[in-house]
Amino acid sequence: MKLAKTKIILGFVVIILAIVGYTVYANQKNPPKNPQISSTAESTKPTQTAVATTSVTPRTTFLATPAVPKPVQEQTQSPKPSTANITWSASRKLTWNDFQGVPGNSGKASVSLRIDSGWTRAYTCENIDTGARCVIKIESVKSLAEVNPLKSWFLSSYNTDYRLAHEQDHFNITEVFARKARKQLGPLVGYSVTTEAQTQSEALQSGTAQLEQTLSAIIDPNDDAHSAAQTQYDDETDHSINESAQAEWHVKIQNWLLNS
């Protein structure tokens, strides 16, 4: 009896071992798919690609673009020329942008020139037995060659470099005579007059008028000579049409500048 039971148990063991062995063999031959590992691998690759795209492309675009780009209007619109009077300078030549006035009824261009002459005074006044006394002194003087852009104009058919040079020499002539005035007015700095009147106001007004007459005795003849030189320049060059005369005048004016 015992022998028979032992044979039965061994038979069951053999069957169980056979089933286990077959299962191991089958799994090795056809391993089952692991959906969790597969989905992780598939989602990782696209995620890395997306990160690479968003981390590189936007940075490149951002760095290539200025952090504070200028408005389109500021990039394309040129600044308006200044309307203030232009003082002569060896390093600052006239351009056609300096001619901002409305064209006149005759001529092709006009440059508005002037010699801006002026002075400042210093004075002291006191009361005296007969009224008042004032001492008025010339503190400083000036004489500047200037162009008024709002009164200077040109026709569009006239705006060549050659004709602009003609207008520049008009400005140069003005500078020559401004320098002459400065040289003549300079020694008057510190000059004073003493006047007496019933009141301080009257004494001051009288002394100021005397100094203005002294200054005008220099300024007025210089202004007349300046106007005459400008007229002669235009007459002899025929307003730049006579090219040989224009060339001669240009040399003459340059010499005036060098020697003034």
Counting Cα atoms < 13 Å in the Cβ hemisphere of 211 gives 29
Rounded-to-integer distance, Cα 6 and Cα 249, Å: 142
Structure tokens at 91: 């390093």
Rounded-to-integer distance, Cα 55 and Cα 122, Å: 74
Residue with tokens 């010339």: 138
Please report, in angstroms and rounded to a whole number, the separation of the first and last CA atoms in the chain. 150
The reported pTM is 0.68
Are 250 and 171 contacting, i.e. CB atoms less than 8 angstroms apart?
no
Per-residue pLDDT of 124-177, as tens digits, reads 999 999 999 999 999 999 999 999 999 999 998 889 999 999 999 999 999 999
Structure tokens at 70: 């200028």
pLDDT by residue for the chain (260 residues), tens digit each? Answer: 555 555 555 555 556 655 555 554 555 555 544 443 333 333 333 333 232 222 222 322 222 223 333 344 444 444 566 789 999 999 999 999 999 999 988 888 999 999 999 999 999 999 999 999 999 999 999 999 999 999 999 998 889 999 999 999 999 999 999 999 999 999 999 999 999 999 999 999 999 999 999 999 999 999 999 999 999 999 999 999 999 999 999 999 999 999 99
